[in-house]
Amino acid sequence: MAQAKLKLGVLISGGGTNLQALIDACANSDFPAEIALVLSNIPDAFGLQRAKKSGISTSIINHKDFEDRDGFEAAMTAELKDAGVELVCLAGFMRILNNTFVGAWRDRMINIHPSILPAFKGLHTHDRVVQEGVKFSGCTVHFVVPDLDSGPIIIQAVVPVNGDDTGETLGERVLEMEHKIYPEAIRLIATKSIRVANGRVQINDGNYAVDGVINPALVN
């Protein structure tokens, strides 16, 4: 009997290129997860069209329709639970989440950030990297905790910063790696190949010879 696939809820606010990477991964019959719901706080987010094109259920919960963040997040939680979501994936979701929402999905919500955390948390990452003269950047998939961009790290990829890079050109190369490591992080979670211990992710998977930080060359 085939094992049930992990049900994902993907939260978006924009174009959804990382969402598309997850849609493509889930289209493979041997991928151990499926997208149960795509939820956006922006009614005209292009990512909703990506989901509908692939026959994935969508929901719009506009934060502007609520008097406070608690009401907005309670509505999101209700939608996610109604869809049977087991793992929440933030994919360009541009709202800061309250501790209550984060706590409700502890160790069941992940995010992808375009830097090698804990360096360059927050916004405008690529421009800041170029301005600082950093030689390597990259991206990180991590569990979400109340502190911004600070949860246990699941997987990272490294991208060299070229001397003539702008924030835009660097961002394009980092995004390519985001599309590889986000599905891989979900695969590790869905196959129960990782656990969180003492604030760190430990990986128990024969494909990897290292624990915690994954060489992007090992990601197909």
Distances 175 to 21, 64, 91, 152 between C-alpha atoms, Å = 11, 29, 12, 21
Q: CA 84 to CA 44: how far, in whole Å?
A: 24
113 belongs to the catalytic site: yes
Q: Of 102, 158, 88, give the one whose Cα is nearest residue 129.
A: 158
| Active-site residue, from 113, 124, 142, 179 | 113
Active site residues: 113
